[in-house]
Amino acid sequence: MLFNSYDFLLFFPLVVLAYFIIPAKIRYIWILLASYYFYSVWNPKFVFLLISVTVITYLAAIGVERKKKWPLIVGSSVCFLVLFGFKYLNFVSENVNRILSSMEASTTIPYFDIVLPVGISFYTFQAVGYVIDVYRGKISAEKNILRYGLFLSFFPQLVAGPIERSENLLKQLRNIHTINIYKWENIASGFKLMVWGYFEKVVIADRAAILVDTVYNSYQNYGFWEIAIATILFAIQIYCDFDGYTNIARGVAKMMGIELIRNFKQPYFAQNIVDFWKRWHVSLTAWLTDYLYIPLGGSRKGKIRNYINIFIVFFVSGLWHGASWHYIIWGVLHAVYQTVYKVWGVIKEKLSIPTWNKSMKLINCILTFAIVDFAWLFFRANSTSDAIGMIKRMGDFVPKVSIYNLGLSAYDWKILLGSILVLFLVDWCRERKISISETMNRQMMGGSIIVYTLAVLAVVLFGVYGTGYDVGQFIYFQF
């Protein structure tokens, strides 16, 4: 079930209304049932996979709490094997067959017709993180399997994150019966988050996607300017798509009195590539840092080992996003960026090169966006060969078509550019820690109400709808 579908707009109010009415002691059971229904709408068969991962890691955590390490190994291995089987088996088979073919071997590995379960990368990582946290003593094993089941299946963040930690979400679910859900502040702030998320998704991301898809799906017809515009718009699209989902998820949870972590912190205001990854997909970055980078040794075992660890982490990050070489290249590019940045830091220190002053912030920001955006080309391309082909096509600086022949009309361009300006202003306010609601209320009575009423109208009037419109799946559903 998609957040931007009519089904969800009916499902969500009914679930929350019942949540407010039913006895506090069974709230978690109601949300668990709602979460499984939410997931089953996509494909009922994969509910059993979710249940299996839940039961296995539930038992593993209980075993780990008894000071035994083997349940951690077994539970984590099963999760990763499940993820491998559904997401990476055919990728491995394809690459092994290429090697065998190059060796003129007659043997081939069969290709399996496998459907990738929505959200499998998110809930398997969340499950493994929980078992490791129990092993490390950060949290006690959850004895109520239904409550633990809700932790893994909580519908707002089930299929596209954020990847929640047991220290945050599970602790709240353990006390869900004590949460004061009748707080107007929670409902109001949750509603604001949802409205902003829908604005990002249906007004900006889905509109930008029209041009991006037009160019990327037939890049042979275009040159530098068209591909550059499409790639810049993809950077906006993926940010608004993913941050939009996260904000809707946080808003839904907030209305029920539950706080989910922020997954994005104005990433395109980053001053360098390290800063970017402190702002982009925060929950995945934190997961890889705590459960992979630090156990590998982090930066504690010398610079060379540190660089190797960075490459391993970003290789895994690329592979996590998709079973394809263009995702891996995207991850490796970011590893190169990180390594070059760290090496440059060492050179600056040794040569006593002064740090740029504050007036260079804009240049830092633009340079960081430029290298991030170049990497996005590999991420969005349909294949590695397409990405290389697009880079070659960018050597042609002669415009091929009018900007209005790339899928968007003049009317759409006005809406898109105006919406991107709104996005920039909102992120700029957040970057400077300016509360838009408080500022508007100081300027006029009920100012924030006017702002969010206008936002609702913008979603309704300027969202990408109409005849032939296919509800845009959130990009990160495929991961």
Catalytic (active-site) positions: 321
Number of neighbours of residue 439 by Cβ within 10 angstroms: 13
The set of residues, in sequence order, having a beta carbon less than 8 Å from that of 315 and lying 6+ positions away, is 328, 331, 332, 335
CA distance 256 to 251: 9
Residue 168 in tokens: 């945050």
The set of residues, in sequence order, having a beta carbon less than 8 Å from that of 187 and lying 6+ positions away, is 255
SS3 162: coil
Polymer length of the chain: 479
Asked if residue 147 lies in contact with residue 153, where contact means CB atoms within 8 angstroms, the answer is no
Amino acid at 375: A
Q: Give the DSSP per-residue string, 377-437.
A: HHHHSSSHHHHHHHHHHTT--S--S-GGGSS--HHHHHHHHHHHHHHHHHHHHHHTT--HH
**Tokens 């998609």, residue located:** 2
Q: Which of 424, 476, 461 is nearest to 202 (CA)?
A: 461
